Amino acid sequence: MADESAGREVLFEMMTVGGTVRVVAIDAATGIEVTVMGPLTAPRWELQRLAMRKLERRLAQEGGGQGGGQGGGR
């Protein structure tokens, strides 16, 4: 599933792992990705919001994603 917040395409991958959900948010332009985990009972939108905020922080650390480097940090 993709989210195009602020003109940036972000892909989300969600996987159930035991009693938790693992959410990966990937910036389509740079390939930078982050991972968050939350309880299985948490609303899907809340986990995506958390992953998106973490990705935004990571992109800011990387210089706003302008470098285009392939980062795999989680």
pLDDT tens-place string over residues 8-61: 899 999 999 999 999 999 999 999 999 999 999 999 999 999 999 999 999 999
SS3 call for 6: helix
- Which pTM value belongs to this model? 0.76
Q: Does residue 71 carry a pLDDT above 60?
A: no
Q: Are 60 and 41 in contact (CB under 8 A)?
A: no
Domain count across the chain = 1
SS3 call for 56: helix
SS3 call for 69: coil
Is 21 a domain residue? Answer: yes
- Cα-to-chain-centroid distance, residue 34: 5
Is 68 a domain residue? Answer: no
- 4 vs 27, which has greater pLDDT? 27
Closest CA to 53 of 31, 23, 17: 23
Is 73 a domain residue? Answer: no
Residue 8's domain spans which residues? Answer: 2-61
